[in-house]
Amino acid sequence: MKRFTLLALAGLLILALATGLVAQGLGTVWSRAATIAHGLVGLCFLLLVPWKSPIVSSSLRRRRKGAVWSIALAVAVVATIASGLLQMTGTVRSIGPLTTMQVHIGAAVLAAGLGVWHYRSRPVRPRPADLQRRNLVRVAVLTAGAGVLLAGWETMVGATGWPGGRRRFTGSHERGSGNPAAMPVTQWFTDKVPRLDRTEVTVAGRVLGADDFARLPHDTLEATLDCTSGWYSTQEWRGVRLDRLLGDVRGESIAVRSVTGYIRRFPADEADRLWLAFELGDAPLSAGHGFPARIVAPGRRGFWWVKWVDSIEVSGVPAWLQVPFPLT
Ligand SMILES: Nc1nc2c(c(=O)[nH]1)N[C@H]1C(S)=C(S)[C@@H](COP(=O)(O)O)O[C@H]1N2
Ligand SMILES: [Mo]
């Protein structure tokens, strides 16, 4: 069981990161699947504690080198799982300056780094023989056990009436829907809210002003912005659909750049599903929410909803040729 436990923990760490990234990267049904898988993986860690504990005690007794880092890894894993379970309940919005989800992600990144170090200093190399029947049965039992725990936790969250019972399939909690003033203002990493007075946006090389935009057909749509920091807000947005702005899109992607330099590339064939919005809830956008214009990208996570749009350009660079998550 020792060898199985160590291999399983390494595999779980990889799976936890992969499912977490998919859950956070997508705003569609794939995020739902990944979020459930992510929960199962997290609880598998807990189920392995009884088998990992004796391994930990014996190496602590032998005073193996790097014990401090191993303890740090254990703390990071516990913090990751605890904040994940807490996020599900919706009872604690923030811990210090960070949202519960941000604590979860921060602890997970730490655990991943320490986990890689831990594995390299005590490697257990997987072998084809590890795929023996007994281990496959163990994986099945572990998964089933995690399923029972997950269902139990969900049932408890529902029964207590905690806000988590109403969370979205991405794990995000509702904030200020239908009330723009109560909707959080969030930046990805480093951007600051700029106070702009100009209303021009460069579209395919042409500088368009408020009058130009007013002449174009507008849509009012209800759309949900779902931020990876763990909240979502459904609002009424008003703006111009990108295919009406750009006409026939001849290129691979639509690059939307913010005044701040923040940039996202959308696949060219999505022009009829993206909006350049000027209004939120019947009023011009506030500075915080992207004045004069921002992207509304239904079904895409919040970090795609570029604020303070400076330019929209069709480009020959494919949309997949960009980091999946912005770096600044
Ligand atoms: N230019 C720019 N646009 C941005 C961001 C940013 O940091 N810079 N953050 C994104 C993220 S992570 C989210 S969740 C939404 C938040 O929109 P809001 O502040 O209107 O709620 O804006 C997105 N647009
Ligand atoms: Mo976000």
Are 260 and 309 in contact by the 8 Å Cβ rule? The answer is no
Quick one: average pLDDT of 230-238? 98
Q: What is the pLDDT of residues 170-180, one digit of tens each?
A: 999 999 999 99
**CB of 187 shorter than 6 A to ligand 1:** yes
User: DSSP strand E in 118-274: where?
Assistant: 173-174, 201-203, 206-208, 219-227, 231-241, 253-258, 263-267
pTM above 0.85, yes or no: yes
Q: How far apart are CA 74 and CA 111, in angstroms?
A: 8
Is residue 186 within 6 Å of ligand 1 at its C-beta? yes
User: Measured in angstroms, how far is the CA atom of residue 223 from the centroid of ligand 1?
Assistant: 15
**Is the minimum distance from the CB of 182 to ligand 1 under 6 angstroms?**
no
Q: Does residue 100 carry a pLDDT above 90?
A: yes
Q: Report whether 254 contacts 315 (CB < 8 A).
A: yes
Predicted pLDDT at 63: 84
Dist. CA 298 → ligand 2 center (Å): 14
For position 66, what pLDDT does the model report? 85
Residue 213 burial by Cβ neighbours in a 10 Å radius (0-12, 13-18, 19+): buried
Reported for 122-130, long-range contacts at CB under 8 A and 24+ positions apart, including other chains, are: 122/6, 124/3, 124/6, 124/7, 124/10, 126/7, 130/3, 130/4, 130/7
Nearest atom in ligand 1 to 227's CA: 14
| Whole-number percent of the chain with pLDDT over 70 | 100
- Residue 207 CB neighbours (<10 A): 10
| pLDDT per residue as tens digits for the range 113-162 | 999 999 999 899 999 999 999 999 999 999 999 999 999 999 999 999 99
Supply the pLDDT for residue 96.
95
> Cα of 102 to ligand 2 centre, how many Å?
10
